Amino acid sequence: MASELEKRFMATGSALERHATQTREIVEQSERLLELVTGKAGGEQLIRTGMETLGQGLDFIERCHVRTLDLVVRLRGYQAQLEAMRHHEELLGSALAPLKYVQTLFRIESATLPADVQTTFLGLTRDIEELFGRFGQVFGEQYQNLGRSRDSIVGLIDRIERHAVRQQATAVEKRDQMRLTLGDLMTEVSESMKRDVSLVTVSRNLSSGVGEVLVALQCQDIVRQKLEHVRSACGQIAAEGRGTTGLPPVAGRQFARETARIQIDQIDAVLKDLRQAEEQARLGMSHIVELAHNLDAESMSLSEFKSVTSSESGMVQILLTSLEEVRAMLATIVAVQDETHRTLQPLGGMASNVTGVMRNLSGHIKLIALNAQIQAAQVGQGTGLEVLSENTTRISDDIYRLNEHASDDLDKLIAGLSSAISESAALHAEAVETEGVLHQQGRDLEIRLHAYRDATLDSFMTVGQSNAVFTSDANSTESRLKFVEPAQPVLDALREVLVRIGDQPAEEIHDPEAREALEGRLRVLMRNYTMQSERSTHVAATVAADDGVSCWQGAAPGSAAPEALGGTVELFDSPEAPPASPKGEPNPRDIGANVELF
């Protein structure tokens, strides 16, 4: 059955293999997280693609804003022209008013004339009456339409200005924000190189921490060999007790005493090795735990990077929010341009109708005036009709000039409206196209942005979870690093027996051959060592014994020997203890079988 000490070495070795795998995974996860955070895993290009996509929409919004403001200026001009039509209506009414007086005078002046002349001039008065009727109904209605057109333009200007100003402010803000965001990204990518070194150094140092503990575990082979040599030496002590080595009795007893003293120091060296290994392993595991905490701190500090967080100020979130806002702005532009087009399109027809009515009115008045002149010339002079005819001609000329001037203005208005309608239609078509492109590209971009952010957040969680598991496992391993604890009682018991054997009274060896045989056996014992540290310990113990210096503090020379070692020093097997010496003296015969520690 494996001993407790060996179990602990094996358990620690298995744990270190597990820790080595964990550290490799954490290093890979940390490097992946760093690549995501700093944009090296496609994030930087994704951000640039997002900015380019948004830039197309924002560029159009800015162009549209300029053109819309120009359209507003032109609409204000159309508004002023339509306002002028109201003044023209007043002037035209004032110019037509004298015809009422002329109409009455025609009746009066023709009343004394022959019936056929009266009939002619009564026809003129009816024509004038009809003219006033048309002016009051048809012409007045056309001017009302122009007034409604003016009101439509005023409302349209108000809506366009409100949307245009708000959109321009938003577009400029987004453009500035994108520039700052791109600048921040470049700065963070540059700064991340330092963070790269820091994070990767910490994560890779975990492997060196595992290496420190592995070096400490190499003590297992050293201790195994040393204990094997102690076991062999104890076997020789036991053989001397049985008298089977061929040494003379006095030399054999002296060999047992000297060997016991040497093995005491070898056991102390083994315990020292175990203490040093335990301390080194603990320091290594403490270093690993500390590095794990540092790695966790380094990984979590990456959340400060704007390029990967889901906060409102994060680059990914800025792009997602901006996509929605730009799409909304484009939808508003489409709606406004559509409304502009629908508002302006009928205005040109209305203005054309008014122009037609004006010219028709002017022509009708000229016919009335010409007819009056012809009829007055036929009647002859002295009737007063020729004066009234001249006044009618003058009035018709005034009305003609007014209408021609107004018609020219309306023609210009119609041309301007046609141009504005075309411009609005073009803007509407471009807005629809830009909105469609942004919708298609934006949808794909949103999917990629969400996937990138989710991958980053998953990476944060993975690193955090892996580090938590690793830290807990490492703490558990550290708490089980107790190599001295299982060996101490066994080796102390063996040491106690060896001290009592070594403290037996020395006997003088007179026979040179016996002394030479003893020295040869001690040299053979030394040659069996495989490590310089064992030889050094052997030499030091031998020198100390030759100088008469006690190497065994706390020994009680002459004290009664305990039972045989078998029941007290076995770490790995538990055979029955051999019987005690009849006289209570140390029984070296079974020592060798009781130091099998591995």
d(CA 356, CA 115): 37
**Run of H or E including 487:** helix 484-502
- 499 torsion bin: left (phi>0), alpha (psi -120 to 50), beta (else): alpha
Nearest to 163 by CA among 427, 413, 436, 417: 427
146 with 249, same domain? no
Of the residues 477, 509, 537, which one is the last residue of a structural domain?
477
458 with 498, same domain? no
Measured CA to CA in angstroms, residue 204 lies from 200, 292, 293 at distances of: 6, 11, 13
Residue 369 maps to a domain:
yes
Segments of the chain with pLDDT less than 50: 1-2, 306-310, 548-586, 589, 592-596
172 with 245, same domain? no
Residue 117 maps to a domain:
yes
294 with 325, same domain? no
Residue 588 maps to a domain:
yes
Q: How many C-beta atoms surround the C-beta of residue 147 within 10 A? A: 15
353 with 430, same domain? yes
Q: Which residues contact 261 (CB under 8 A, 6 or more apart)?
A: 498, 502, 541, 545, 551, 552
Q: Which residues contact 335 (CB under 8 A, 6 or more apart)?
A: none
Residue 561 maps to a domain:
yes
- 584 torsion bin: left (phi>0), alpha (psi -120 to 50), beta (else): left
Q: Enumerate the H helices of 135-248 as residue ranges.
A: 140-217, 219-242
Q: Enumerate the H helices of 243-314 as residue ranges.
A: 249-301
Contact 482, 279 (CB under 8 A): no
Sign, Cα dihedral of 404, 348, 354, 366? positive
d(CA 489, CA 494): 9
- 508: its two tokens: 């003088």
424 with 573, same domain? no
CA-only gyration radius of the chain, Å: 57
- 516: its two tokens: 């030479």
d(CA 281, CA 287): 10
Residue 9 maps to a domain:
no
Residue 2 maps to a domain:
no
- Cα 549 from chain centre: 72
3-state helix, strand, coil in the chain (%, to 5): 85, 0, 15
- 577: its two tokens: 């203890």
Q: How many C-beta atoms surround the C-beta of residue 307 within 10 A? A: 25
Nearest to 294 by CA among 511, 474, 477, 69: 474
| pLDDT tens track for 498-545 | 999 988 888 888 889 888 988 898 888 888 888 899 999 998 888 766
- 324: its two tokens: 């929605």
With vertex at residue 264, the alpha carbon angle to CA 263 and CA 266, rounded to the nearest 5 degrees, is 60
d(CA 46, CA 54): 12
Containing structural domain, residue 257: 217-302+482-594
194 with 334, same domain? yes
521 with 584, same domain? yes
470 with 488, same domain? no
d(CA 346, CA 152): 11
- Cα 504 from chain centre: 78
Nearest to 198 by CA among 281, 301, 342: 301
| pLDDT tens track for 65-109 | 888 888 889 889 888 888 888 788 788 888 888 888 887 888 888
Q: Enumerate the H helices of 302-380 as residue ranges.
A: 315-379
Q: Tell me 582's DSSP state.
A: T
114 with 206, same domain? yes
418 with 291, same domain? no
- φ/ψ (deg, to 5) at 402: -60, -45
Q: How many C-beta atoms surround the C-beta of residue 471 within 10 A? A: 19
What is the tally of structural domains in the chain?
A: 2
Nearest to 223 by CA among 534, 587, 594, 576: 534
77 with 192, same domain? yes
Residue 362 maps to a domain:
yes
Residue 230 maps to a domain:
yes
Q: How many C-beta atoms surround the C-beta of residue 70 within 10 A? A: 12
Contact 499, 264 (CB under 8 A): yes
- Cα 138 from chain centre: 69
Of the residues 457, 477, 497, which one is the last residue of a structural domain?
477
Of the residues 477, 494, 523, which one is the last residue of a structural domain?
477
